Amino acid sequence: MTTLNPECIQLETVGRVGVIRLNRPKKLNAINGQLMTEVTQALKAFVADDSIGAIVLAGEGRAFSAGFDLKELAEQGITTAQGWAQVLREDFDFVIQFWDCPKPTVAAIHGPCIGGGMELAVSCDLTVADVDTRMGEPEMKFGSSIAALVLPWLIGPKQAKELLLTASDQITAQRAYELGLVNEVTQGGSHVARAIELAQAMASYSPVSVQMTKRAINRSLDIAGMREALLAAVDTATLIEANARPENAEFERIRTTQGMKAALAWRDGAH
């Protein structure tokens, strides 16, 4: 594997498994531009390394990820449709690369797994959740959008509408398992070990067989229209973000005058 010196992630190999750990624990592993760059570079390096057969994605600290870094996004001051189109496509490409990765990917999640963090987790081929996991997409609470609208393809439209339109962000690991968002629920913080175990099993088989089977499954969904629908959803997200809304203006006012913590409290209080 190419030598990397990342600031926002940790890397390791366990046998034939490459492990990427999001490492912004003080920010609950919020996804900023630097983290996106480092994860993408690491993923590409693991894919290019013939000694690696599968990849695990996990998070350091008390969260898998609280989603995209809203503070960094607000500071960019994006006001045009063109600007939003670029940002949202970058977010989409970042998330969907784990779905598109030729090698199998396994997410090991715990604690908050929210917004873009949830999209990232469920875009991996397998997802293992510790019992303390809380998942959700709270974007509706402040009139925002969803970069990678994969939920309808994973759990069906009725369940996706319930989770997204009610802005639920307290989905337990057991509920996520029942919905089909995660493959297994672990106890006592053993999610990473279990994810590595599953990845090691997949990495022990014929790479051609494993990778072609993954590709065939993904292609069946593309034939059904998944890719076209996901890209259409990015266009819809651009329209949502490019139109000024009172909720966003109030969120930004509170953020600039009282701080991000107060803004998030206002959002989660259903104002």
Q: What is the pLDDT of residues 103-150, one digit of tens each?
A: 999 999 999 999 999 999 999 999 999 999 999 999 888 777 888 999
* Average pLDDT rounded to a whole number, residues 204-222: 98
Contact 98, 120 (CB under 8 A): yes
SS3 133: coil
* pTM recorded for the entire structure: 0.91
Contact 112, 136 (CB under 8 A): no
Q: Which of 78, 77, 82, 73 lies closest to 32 in space, CA to CA?
A: 73
Phi first, then psi: give them for residue 148, nearest 5 degrees: -125, 95
Residue 44 has pLDDT above 60, yes or no: yes
* Average pLDDT rounded to a whole number, residues 16-35: 98
SS3 126: strand
The 3-state secondary structure of 191-225 reads HHHHHHHHHHHHHCCCHHHHHHHHHHHHHHHHHCC
* Average pLDDT rounded to a whole number, residues 152-167: 96
Contact 137, 168 (CB under 8 A): yes
Please give the Cα distance from 118 to 151 (Å, whole number): 10
Please give the Cα distance from 64 to 49 (Å, whole number): 25
Please give the Cα distance from 215 to 238 (Å, whole number): 29
27 Cβ contact partners less than 8 Å away, ≥ 6 residues apart: 66, 69
What is the pLDDT, as a whole number, of residue 270? 54
Q: Which of 185, 73, 198 lies closest to 134 in space, CA to CA?
A: 185
In this prediction, residue 196 has a pLDDT band, given cuts at 50, 70 and 90, of: very high
In this prediction, residue 195 has a pLDDT band, given cuts at 50, 70 and 90, of: very high
Average pLDDT, the chain: 92
In this prediction, residue 18 has a pLDDT band, given cuts at 50, 70 and 90, of: very high
What is the pLDDT, as a whole number, of residue 2? 45
Domain boundaries, given as residue ranges, for the chain: 9-268
What is the pLDDT, as a whole number, of residue 4? 67
Chain segment 200-210, per-residue pLDDT in tens: 999 999 999 99
What is the pLDDT, as a whole number, of residue 67? 95
Please give the Cα distance from 11 to 51 (Å, whole number): 15
What is the pLDDT, as a whole number, of residue 262? 83
Please give the Cα distance from 232 to 215 (Å, whole number): 22
In this prediction, residue 173 has a pLDDT band, given cuts at 50, 70 and 90, of: very high
| Gyration radius (Cα) of the chain, Å | 18
Crossing angle of helices 260-268 and 246-258, in 10° steps, is 140
Apex 234 CA angle, 175 and 195, nearest 5: 40
Pick the CATH number of 9-268 from 3.40.120.10, 3.40.50.740, 3.90.226.10, 1.10.287.3510: 3.90.226.10
What is the pLDDT, as a whole number, of residue 113? 98
